[in-house]
Amino acid sequence: MSDNASSSSPPQASIEPRNTLAVSISGSGGTGAVTVGLILLDAVAKAGFYGVMNRSFGPQIRGGESAVMLHFSDRPIETLAEFSHLHLALDWLKFERFHDEIPLTSDSLVIYDNSREKPPGLVENTGATLIGVALQEAVRNLKGSRINMFALGILAQQIGLSLDTLEAALRKTLGKKGDEVVQQSLEAVKIGTTLVAETPYCRLPDWTPTDTPRWNISGNEACGLGALRGGLKLAAAYPITPATDIVEYLAPRIEQLGGNVLIAEDELAAMNMVIGGSFGGLPSMTATSGPGFALMTEAMGLAIASETPALVVTVMRGGPSTGIPTKSEQTDLNQVLYAFHGEAPHVVVAPLNVQEMVPISQWSLGLAEALQTLVVEVTDQHLGQCRAIIDPVPPQDFGLQRKTATPQEGAYRRYQLTEDAISPIAWPGMPDTQYTADGLEHTEVGVPSSMASDHSEQLAKRARKIAEFDYGDRWASLDLPPKTKTVVITWGSSYEAVRVAIDNLNADGANIGLIALRLLMPLQTDALQKHFKSKQVIVIEQNASGQLYHYLLSQNAIPVKAVSIAEAGPILFNPARVEHHLTACLENNQ
């Protein structure tokens, strides 16, 4: 390869994992579909394998139907499956809401509770093998049991999980409910393993496990961990789906490291708290989503104008307005790039998968501190709320910290025009460093000014420090085989599906290169352009309007003949669909 993935890229398999198994569970509110998924994912990890779990649920505050989709492998995996090999329906209530997210084919096995509704026609029409089980009868025969534990036993038996492995995972998930609940659940699981005959889907015993330690972590949790590694001391937020998990993860941990979590009365207050904490010398952040980000933009402009470090993590969801709060789309790119009034240079960073949410979140907080500006880290519901079994991410030191002021004679020039455009920053209580800090344009010492010369100098200063900073090789993941004639550009949660699709096509001789952007602003235009000479360029993203494609065009970063593959969510890309799109593009270009 002429270019390798950057040092912050997680290790990746060169081809689609050899062994994969897709399992899904659905049911109405209270049936415990998500609990089954969580236990099953942890059990597969304890058995020595990898997996990823995606959740699907409606926009209701409480209750309602839910489903989980799991994809297992003997190698690291974060992609959605082309179809579900094994689906277990706790009931069929409103299953049509999940039909697109749980693809079933004639190669699928569907197990369902036959004491309730019959499988709907849309399931029967798939040609899947259907097996009915009297789950309600099993519940009646075992006092204190729940239907989902029988289902867990069925799934464990079908995919070949040992009872010992399953018991360890069950105790970890349900242990806080007491020994009686655990024992009743284990008894139901054991009975469940006897309810359905063995099928060809018993695959795990044929795989080769690994005994290396792994993490079971969500993207939002990984984001919180990365921020803590970066020295986070204050997180202020107003709860919003699907970003609230970040603050929930931080709350019991940040205090052990000398920090605090504040729950604000609204999003604007949360952003102002972040600015206040950072002004006081504490690395600070907030977590939000599109609607909350919209309310924060005025205060974020204050962070930019006053050169106050601030990290904002926004977890995209479907919009506009309340939109689809529990589903994923890459539709807020224009918002994080252009939402601010006036000229407000800032940094926008996007992790590519759960594995690198840890180092990229740490890097994002470090960039805010070192550049004394607003950094927006943008993820989405899929990337934030999915759980994955990943290899541990070792600690890193990015060497990013504030340029701190020292006591000096004469007026402290908070906004001094330095060679690198980054001025030494002070915080309240430091001797001889008092200055005026507000959102008005100002002189080098911070005195408000409306003079054109002051505005021109300070505006150029704020832009130059961001444009000229050395971001190293983390700006993108580059995988560019020699003599490639086609280069694909993508970002965020689309990356894993695109990467696997390209690996599969390249195994058949396609010779496609991949650039996955992490640093979206400032765009590294010169670095991009050098890879596109006499090549076909394809931009792949999960939104209907091609926001990344048009942004790259506006910056002259891609050729005008570049091709856009843009699909709206909330049904996300899987490798098979990306392969289909890329194959069509290659054929049209011949």
Domains along the chain with CATH numbers: 20-206 (3.40.920.10), 216-390 (3.40.50.970), 403-469 (no CATH), 474-589 (3.40.50.920)
pLDDT higher than threshold 60 for residue 532? yes
Structural contact between residues 331 and 547, judged by C-beta atoms closer than 8 angstroms: yes
Would you mind telling me the total number of residues written for the chain in this entry? Answer: 590
* pLDDT score recorded for residue 15: 45
pLDDT band at residue 9, thresholds of 50, 70 and 90? Answer: very low
CA distances from 575 to 47, 497, 581 (A): 26, 5, 10
Lowest mean pLDDT among 108-117, 193-202, 342-351, 486-495: 193-202
* pLDDT score recorded for residue 30: 83
Q: What is the mean pLDDT of the chain?
A: 92
pLDDT higher than threshold 60 for residue 3? no
Give this prediction's pTM.
Answer: 0.93
* pLDDT score recorded for residue 63: 63
pLDDT higher than threshold 90 for residue 29? no
Q: Give pLDDT tens digits for 283-328.
A: 999 999 999 999 999 999 999 999 999 999 999 999 999 899 989 9
Structural contact between residues 11 and 149, judged by C-beta atoms closer than 8 angstroms: no
pLDDT band at residue 64, thresholds of 50, 70 and 90? Answer: confident
Q: Give pLDDT tens digits for 37-55.
A: 999 999 999 999 999 999 9
Pairing of strands 20-27, 50-57: unpaired
* pLDDT score recorded for residue 59: 67
Output phi, psi for 82, to 5 deg: -70, -40
Closest C-alpha among 253, 526, 519 to residue 367:
519
DSSP string, 397-455: -------B----SS---TT---TTS---B--TT-TT-----SSS-B-TT--B---HHHH
Q: Give pLDDT tens digits for 134-172.
A: 999 999 999 889 999 999 999 999 999 999 999 999 999
* pLDDT score recorded for residue 2: 32
Pairing of strands 536-541, 563-566: parallel
**Spatial separation of the C-alpha atoms in residues 238 and 264, rounded to whole Å:** 5
Query: Cα 362 from chain centroid?
Result: 14
pLDDT higher than threshold 80 for residue 407? no
pLDDT band at residue 588, thresholds of 50, 70 and 90? Answer: confident
pLDDT higher than threshold 60 for residue 393? yes
What average pLDDT score do residues 92-111 get? 92
**Spatial separation of the C-alpha atoms in residues 590 and 585, rounded to whole Å:** 9
pLDDT higher than threshold 80 for residue 589? no
Closest C-alpha among 263, 325, 287 to residue 59:
325
